[in-house]
Amino acid sequence: MGDVMLTLLKDLIRLPGLSGHERPAQERIQAAWEPLVDELSLSPIGSLHALKRGSGEAPRPSVLVATHMDAIGMMVSMLDHGLLRVAEIGGLEPRVLPGQPVTVHGRRDLPGLLVQPPAHALPAEDRKGPVAVKYLMVDIGLPPGQVARLVRPGDLVSFAQEPFEQGEDRLVGHSLDNRASVAALTACLLELQQRTHLWDLWAVATAQEEETLGGALTSAFALRPTVAVAVDVTWARAPGLPEHRTFPLGDGPTNAWGPNIHPGVHQALKEAAGRVEVPLALEPLPAHSGTDAFALQIAGEGIPTGVLGIPLLNMHTAVEAVSIADIRRTGRLLAEFVAGLSADFLQTLTLD
């Protein structure tokens, strides 16, 4: 299971699939999920729906697990004497952008480099601190005329950093937010091949989380699950970061608590983690969780929703880092949660 999951994750890191343009990632996920589920379909805006039927008496309740597959990146906004000005997709950390290798998806894929102008070429008020994305440019190393033939405004620009492993348990690469969670959901599906579950499971790779939450909102409206869980990344602990708002790599996922989370689903996830001895930290989220859970919770008449978080270093950069063990633990916890849903689970849910 680990090799399948890790191979999929590395493949996904190498693919673009920016928010609103997820097809490259969607096709790879679909190929991985096809032998593990009973039905596959695409939503009108590109979310992948995978149904694994339960063994309970029909009509069965269903649980939807959402993991967004879209990635952050850039879009060409204009051509400037052979260089490309860009606009961000999904929010970028400007401090680490200069010097990053990228791929420009023009008439063909073109290798490029994010470059910044010298300080004297910037407005005086913008010469201190990180250079804003609006001043950065992509250099693809070609004459202006050739650039104009190969690239147009609106073309996508994705990170090109290759994934690599550090030590025995850390994977580094771009787009781990949130393809690490897609890998965890894949691990869940693999484990459920050997287990029975009464409820139907909708495994969903959602589109557009980084920009609109549109994938989760429309999928929840269409599928109307009984219960939902969003799996996303959360802030990993590092020197200089506040301990009360971060979580160590390698110590397991987090279980969110706040108004975006149903107390009963939160408790059920906690109990499932205990049964399979997965360490699970409490993550206070007193406002909008910043995840697909916000859209899931308010779909239709409202859906009881939980949130699991996988700690991630260097979020929204090309060198995000995650614990492989945390991904596997999250998959095991999800499988236990799904398998543990009883026929009368909904009747036991309370808001206390």
Question: Of 88, 191, 209, 210, which is the active-site residue?
Answer: 209
Closest CA to 219 of 291, 295, 289, 288: 295
Alpha-carbon gap, residue 301 to 303, rounded angstroms = 7
- Interstrand relation of 137-139 and 109-115 (parallel, antiparallel or unpaired): antiparallel
The H-assigned helical ranges of 127-252 are: 144-150, 176-192, 214-223
What does the buried/exposed string (b/e) look like for 129-158 if buried means 16 or more CB atoms within 10 Å of the residue's CB?
eebebeebbbebeeeeeebeeebeeebbbb
Q: For this structure, is 168 an active site residue?
A: no
Bridge partners (DSSP) listed for residue 234: 311
Closest CA to 252 of 176, 307, 324: 324
Q: 62-68 and 200-206: which strand pairing? A: parallel
Q: Which residues are catalytic?
A: 209
